[in-house]
Amino acid sequence: MSTPDTPAPPRFLPEYDNLLLSHADRSRVIMNDRQVPLPPGNGARPGTLLVDGFWRAIWSLRAGEIHVEPFTPLSPAERDAVEPEAEMLRGFLAIHTG
C-alpha cells in the first residue's frame, strides 16, 4: 500500500488521453493552470508524460526513438525513473509498429 508521500511512477500517455481531456477539475494532474494539451484545428499533439502524477513533459516518437521535452525541470532521480518506463514504451511500440 502506498502513502501520500510515495511518488507515483512516470507514465507515458498518448495524445488526447482521457485523463487530461475529460475531467472538469484537472488540477490533480496539471499544475499552475497550464493549458490542456489540445490545440485548435487538426494538428495532433505529442503524447504527455506524467511524473509523480503530474503532467510535466511531452513526448514523441521520432526515427524509432522516444524524445521527451520537459517544460518543468526534472530532478536527476525523476529522469532516472523515466528511463525504464521509456524503455518499456520502446518495446511496446516496436511490437506494434513493426
Interatomic CA distance for residues 2 and 57, integer angstroms: 24
How much is the pLDDT for 17? 73
CA atoms within 13 A on the CB side of 87: 6
Residue-range domain boundaries for the chain: 11-97
Q: Which residues pair with 59 in a beta bridge?
A: 47, 68
Q: What is the pTM of this model?
A: 0.76
Tell me: pLDDT of 28 over 80.
Answer: no
Identify the pLDDT of residue 30: 73
Higher pLDDT, 78 or 30: 78
